[in-house]
Amino acid sequence: MKQHNLFAVLAVLAAALAALSACSSSNKSGEHIMVFAAASLKSTFTEIGEQFIADNPGVSVEFNFAGSSDLVTQLTQGAQADVFASADTKNMDKAAEAGLFAGDPVNFASNTLTIAVAPGNPKQIRSFRDLTKPTLSVVVCAPQVPCGSATKKVEDAVGVTLTPVSEESSVTDVLNKVTSGQADAGLVYVTDAIAAGDEVTGVPFPESADAVNTYPIAVLKSSEHQELARKFIDAVTGDAGQHTLSVAGFARA
């Protein structure tokens, strides 16, 4: 009788453990999101992501930071993600035209260009027009990248054409060229210059107002965790997320 009871108890425990394991497995599959975000968002989104995880125990967030145009290419070629945040509306529109979104994108921030130079501005660059000096090595973003598109708008506004030594696929690559001494100057976002701290000096120019980039974010239709993805977007657009973005130098959309 005692042996029979022991087997019964063990059977109940085994069933309970199996149910608990299945429940745990199910929860794990629904508590992870992948966020594709523009390279210029790396610092702020990492911070927002850490707070999001703290506010939602058991949830994990993974990021893929790159140039917005590269991210759109990855997504249209089948890369799996839950959220996409672009550094401009042009690349977001491309993704929308491909039918990638579960709903309309939401604008959450804006950014403008500045000139990043070596600390102390040893080349004495004072204006956008100064970047045309033949003695300077200047780096910009490629035209298809949001910061490259913004650069072209400024060129048109000023009435000059730059002759960069290289065109990079993301704004962080431009910044790295300057901080490593491979270039005298680079056109980056205000937020990137701020994040670089003492590694660069930012040289503002009034014509940057002619090329303000708006940042939109959206949930991807292919996401298996759309509720959690929307929750992350709420974290970005909410007061705490907007404060983090503001401190980094982003303006409101």
Do 167 and 141 contact (CB within 8 A), yes or no?
Answer: yes
What's the CA gap between 50 and 37, in Å, rounded? 15
For residue 68, say whether it is annotated as part of any ligand binding site. yes
Buried b or exposed e, range 68-98, using 16+ CB within 10 angstroms: bbbbbebbeeeeebbbbbbbbbbbbebbbee
Q: 86 to each of 44, 60, 110, 116, 160, how far by Cα in Å?
A: 14, 21, 11, 22, 28
The Cα diameter of the chain in Å comes to 96
What's the CA gap between 214 and 251, in Å, rounded? 9
What's the CA gap between 169 and 131, in Å, rounded? 20
Task: Quote the DSSP letter at residue 111.
Answer: E
Q: Which residues sit opposite 111 in a β-bridge?
A: 213
What residues contact 29, with CB distance under 8 A and at least 6 apart? 224
Do 157 and 174 contact (CB within 8 A), yes or no?
Answer: no
Rounded to the nearest angstrom, the gap between the alpha carbon of residue 132 and the centroid of all alpha carbons in its chain is: 30
H or E segment and range at residue 167: strand 166-168
Q: Where is the binding site, in residues?
A: 40, 68, 171, 189
Q: Where is the binding site for molybdate, in residues?
A: 40, 68, 171, 189
